[in-house]
């Protein structure tokens, strides 16, 4: 019977981008809506500002994530290219280097040489990428995927406070945006923590605290400038 395991580390790449995008979408858009509303703007003006924030934020997230992850991907590819050249130029030294890595991990010298020979016969570059460079196929940098995930999740997160602007009466808009946004942040934090194997309660509390802080600060700025104007 084949034994299969699911490791949470396989989720790190997409989970980080998705959580960051959704969290940013909720916090930044809710904060923007509260800041604009605090100035005494009309519901239509608040909606326009929130929509502009959604579009700008999603594009900013996509661009930032792409550039960041592309830099990582370029570094990985440069290391792999160098490793290819070294394998082509001096296969013997590369086998010894790989065997030395296995010895440092606890294998005896003879077994380490056998393992190195067999792995290099199967996939020399893959063996060195994984064991010398620490690059695995599951965790390779994927710029387009990361950018798309960040933009999409930001838009989904930002759409939640925008929906409140459409549905809630102007007199209770700020309160409803705060309550619903914090509730969504708590659920997002708990889900992300649970998926990653951490405490759901701590994850929810951490995300909610910083979201509340950002919204309070932005509302205060909007109220201050609204009063001055």
Residue 101 in any domain: the answer is: yes
Residue 1 in any domain: the answer is: no
Q: Above pLDDT 70, what percent of the chain?
A: 87
* Cα 131 from Cα 151, distance rounded (Å): 33
Residue 3 in any domain: the answer is: no
> Looking at the predicted structure, is the pLDDT value of residue 66 above 60?
yes
Residue 169 in any domain: the answer is: yes
Residue 176 is predicted with a pLDDT of 92
Who has greater pLDDT, 3 or 71?
71
Lowest-pLDDT range of 56-70, 95-109, 175-189, 208-222? 95-109
Residue 84 in any domain: the answer is: yes
What is the per-residue pLDDT across 133-159, written as a single tens digit (0 to 9) for each?
777 665 666 788 888 888 898 999 999
4: left (phi over 0), alpha (psi -120 to 50) or beta: beta
For helices 200-228 and 12-38, give the axis angle rounded to 10 degrees.
30
**Domain encompassing residue 184:** 8-228
Who has greater pLDDT, 105 or 30?
30
Residue 2 in any domain: the answer is: no
> Looking at the predicted structure, is the pLDDT value of residue 54 above 90?
yes
Residue 138 is predicted with a pLDDT of 55
pLDDT confidence of 14, banded at 50, 70, 90? low
Q: How far is CA 213 from the centre of its chain?
A: 21
Residue 224 is predicted with a pLDDT of 82
Number of structural domains found in the chain: 1
Who has greater pLDDT, 56 or 76?
56
Residue 229 is predicted with a pLDDT of 39
Residue 115 in any domain: the answer is: yes
pLDDT confidence of 13, banded at 50, 70, 90? low
Q: Above pLDDT 90, what percent of the chain?
A: 18
> Looking at the predicted structure, is the pLDDT value of residue 218 above 50?
yes
Residue 23 is predicted with a pLDDT of 85
* Three state DSSP letters for the chain: CCCCCCCHHHHHHHHHHHHHHHHHHHHHHHHHHHHHHHCCCCHHHHHHHHHHHHHHHHHHHHHHHHHHHHHHHHHHHHHHHHHHHHHHHCHHHHHHHHHHHHHHCCCCHHHHHHHHHHHHHHHHHHHHHHHCCCCCHHHCCCHHHHHHHHHHHHHHHHHHHHHHHHHCCHHHHHHHHHHHHHHHHHHHHHHHHHHHCCCHHHHHHHHHHHHHHHHHHHHHHHHHHHHHC
């Amino acid at each position: 019977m084949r034994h299969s395991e699911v490791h949470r580390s396989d989720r790190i790449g997409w989970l980080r981008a998705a959580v960051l995008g959704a969290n940013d979408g909720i916090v930044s858009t809710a904060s923007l809506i509260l800041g604009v509303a605090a100035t005494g703007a009309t519901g239509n003006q608040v909606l326009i500002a929130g929509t502009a924030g959604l579009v700008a934020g999603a594009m900013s997230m996509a661009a930032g994530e792409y550039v960041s992850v592309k830099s990582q991907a370029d570094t990985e590819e440069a290391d792999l290219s160098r490793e290819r050249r070294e394998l082509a130029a001096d296969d013997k030294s590369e086998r010894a280097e790989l065997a030395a890595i296995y010895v440092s991990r606890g294998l005896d010298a003879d077994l380490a040489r056998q393992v190195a020979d067999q792995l290099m016969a199967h996939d020399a570059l893959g063996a060195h990428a994984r064991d010398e460079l620490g690059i695995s196929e599951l965790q390779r940098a994927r710029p387009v995927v990361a950018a798309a995930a960040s933009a999409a999740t930001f838009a989904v997160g930002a759409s939640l406070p925008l929906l409140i602007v459409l549905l809630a009466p102007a007199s209770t808009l700020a309160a409803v945006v705060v309550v619903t946004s914090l509730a969504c942040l708590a659920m997002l934090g708990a889900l992300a923590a649970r998926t990653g194997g951490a405490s759901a309660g701590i994850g929810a509390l951490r995300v909610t605290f910083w979201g509340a802080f950002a919204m309070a600060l932005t509302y205060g700025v909007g109220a201050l400038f609204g009063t001055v104007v």
